[in-house]
Structure 1
Amino acid sequence: MLKKVEQNKDLWDLFTKKEEYDPALLDKYGRFPYYLSRQRNVFEPEVSEFLLKSGLSPEYPEGKKFAICLTHDIDFVYTGMLNTAARTVKALRRGQFAEASMLPFSRINKTWSPLWNFRRIMELEEKYGAKSTFYFLTLDPENEDFTFSIEELEGELSRISDEGWEVGLHGGHEAYNNPAEIKNKKRKLERVLRKDVMGYRNHYLRFKTPETWELLADAGFGYDSTFGYHDCAGFRNGMCHPFRPYNLKTGKEIEILELPLTIMDTTLFHSQMRLDFKQAWSLTEQLILTVERYRGVLTVLWHNTYMQGEYLEFYKKLLQYCSEKGAWMAPGAQICDWWNKEYNL
């Protein structure tokens, strides 16, 4: 079916992200941002629309019309000392004396840390018939942004995996462009998890088109879910369906599936968008309805650090809305396994 897209130059250039090959400008993290793109219709999946008109008609498990891929990047599992002190003061002011007494000792008893919240996230999602993917950093102390050792989480990783959620790799700053780093961190996570790791997302959404896909395929990953703009929600290459990337340099498909990222919490509320909660929900609802219309997959990234206060309520609202819509809410690996079997990839 991609042959039909190839015959339409504008859509083919969008699908393959030709403009991202050897770009003249990148941001400070080596990313190609939305504001540099010629694509101005980012909230409409133009390539997916074309594919549906050409005969694509996905049928999801149990007759579901569309899917939601729920994901969480785990950058922190402890609060810093200053942050802990501030949280303690706030808890005291609210009269939450038990929480206030526990927070300073969260390093001693890890389950007291508000960011050691994997089980609470799972319990919440289970209420709505949903499961998700947790992407964990596996950094070494000398790596940038090191905040925890993955070995500390061995029991939690086993529980997440055993209960049907997914554990994936959250590659560090340099992994997206470093084959040895990707492979080393994958092996490290697999040693702790004692299972193969299929899913990947890079820290800070750092990505190089198309080289990162090639490195991930060579490292043995089944899918990636990094491919979204850090500074804007929407459909980076006009796709709201999983797809095999195409390398314009080699003229071949890459042996990995991409689950394109559609919505990230920090993009909505910070970054360049800086939406308030009402605006953020209006856009989120629009994107959900769009993906439903095109029988696609909407990938959501909600950090464990955003599972508090109004951000948590927003995530609950998203779960409830998608549940009422009858979406299939599943981890990335499960969606990819289904897609590969459905289309004999």
Structure 2
Amino acid sequence: ETPYVDNMLWLVDSMIKEHTRSKGIPLVQKQYWPQGQEGAALLTHSVDNLQKWNYTDLLLSLGTDVAMFFTLNWKQLFHTISSKFKYLFTNVELYWNFEEYRALEEASGYRSTFYIAPDKNEYINYSLDDPDLQEEIRQLTRTGNEIGLLLTPDKTNPDDYITRKQVMLHQLHQETIGIRQLHYKINENLRGLHSKLNPAYSQSTALRDMPGYINGVTVPYQPWIGGLSVPWYELPTIYCDAHLRVGRFKTLQLEPAKKLLKKFFQSTIRTRGVFGLDLNLASYYDIPYVKKLYTYALALIKSGGIWVPTANELSQWWHKRNRVTINETEYEISIFFPDNLENFTLKIINIKNIKEILGVPAKVEGNMVSFSNVNADSIAVIRLNQEL
């Protein structure tokens, strides 16, 4: 429940700052996020189920309805039965909720990442060849959202995994793509397959029974697979719809769900980490309050000065940020930018006066130096007054 690694790093960071302050030693620190935001949030949706009912499932579900009746869970039973009548008389697909999520996000000015599987199998009940799904994908990408690859464990050999990646890349006309393992059920064999895919990033790890932090970390990290560090980043997922289910027929009430979300959001942002949120398309219907919960989450993010990129944007930023190098001398700080960057922020500690900044457009506010429109291979030079 606690990002213990990040908390420890925060403690070390505080000790270093206190030591340099007492000694009057200048210190330059990269900020985690482009404009020095308090933290980041990833809005994601797993597209694992697009068909709630077919005629076979309607018949097979009668036993489940009887079991639900004896649990006295009348609200859920009524919700289930009404969904059956809606399907029978209108043929409306209750899990097809792309537009619903998109509308909520657009109202907040945000974009998200949808993880979609490339083929129908025992875990997935839709096909990428579906014209309606292809139109949804086009609409999502036109509006700046991102499509990731949802991987299933039905075929666990490298050739099949690579084929699925190529199918999705062909559909999207892209060269790279990020991945998520279905239901976050990951093992060493699947990690090895992920490594062979060489994805843009992975977002395949999360606690399945409750919100929290895998390995106590809230920021992207490079996992080790087969004794080697991979070149791509694992992005965190902190809170997902599976955490709202407390039994086969029961979910948390709305208010406890909101309190849990707020608790982990605040805990994540306290360490300036990434609040990864995953609400799948089916949960929008199956959990009646998900619209209210997501609206609450978006408002919480909006109020916190949080950066909200797509998963690929965050992965690219973290990679470029790590490549920025800083060289300090007594009266000069030089920063080398190997990549194009729209924004980049430094925190200057124990330095009272900056004489000038050369080479890259920059703005100084307090102890923050913000760079903008940085070209690849640029060098910024911060010249300091000789009196501190």
TM-score range, shorter chain: 0.7 to 0.9
Question: Could you say if the C-alpha distance between residues 92 and 224 of structure 1 is closer, same or farther in structure 2, counting changes exceeding 3 Å?
Answer: closer
Mark the runs of 5 or more structure 2 residues left unpaired by the alignment: 14-28, 60-77, 325-388
5 Å-filtered alignment, 1:81-230, equals 81=54, 90=82, 104-106=90-92, 113-140=93-120, 143-152=121-130, 153-174=133-154, 177-209=156-188, 211-230=189-208
Task: Decide whether the 8 Å contact of 1:213 with 1:256 is kept in 2.
Answer: no
1:265 aligns with 2:241: yes
Instruction: State how far apart, in whole Å, the 2-side matches of 1:121 and 1:151 are.
Output: 22
Look up the SS of the partner of 2:214 in the other structure.
coil
Letter in 2 for 1:344: R
State TM-score, norm by structure 2.
0.66
- Number of residue pairs aligned between Structure 1 and Structure 2: 285
Letter in 1 for 2:321: E
| 1:63 alignment partner in structure 2 | 36
Task: Decide whether the 8 Å contact of 2:58 with 2:84 is kept in 1.
Answer: no
Shift of 1:124: 1.0
Instruction: Give the root-mean-square deviation of aligned CA atoms.
Output: 2.9
Question: Could you say if the C-alpha distance between residues 115 and 295 of structure 1 is closer, same or farther in structure 2, counting changes exceeding 3 Å?
Answer: same
Letter in 2 for 1:256: W
Instruction: State how far apart, in whole Å, the 2-side matches of 1:237 and 1:51 are.
Output: 13
Identity, in percent, stands at 22
| 2:7 alignment partner in structure 1 | 49
State TM-score, norm by structure 1.
0.74
Letter in 2 for 1:342: R
**Looking at CA atoms only, which structure, 1 or 2, has the larger radius of gyration?**
2
Instruction: State how far apart, in whole Å, the 1-side matches of 2:162 and 2:135 are.
Output: 23
1:300 aligns with 2:277: yes
Instruction: Report Cα offsets for 1:181-237 as digits up to 9, x if no partner.
Output: 32121112122222234211111212114x534422321301111111212210011
Look up the SS of the partner of 2:267 in the other structure.
helix
Among 221, 239, 243, the alignment partner of 2:221 is: 243
Larger helix percent: 1
1:275 aligns with 2:224: no
Look up the SS of the partner of 2:215 in the other structure.
coil
Shift of 1:144: 1.1
| 1:75 alignment partner in structure 2 | 48
Look up the SS of the partner of 2:217 in the other structure.
coil
Larger strand percent: 2
Letter in 1 for 2:218: C
Task: Decide whether the 8 Å contact of 1:64 with 1:326 is kept in 2.
Answer: yes
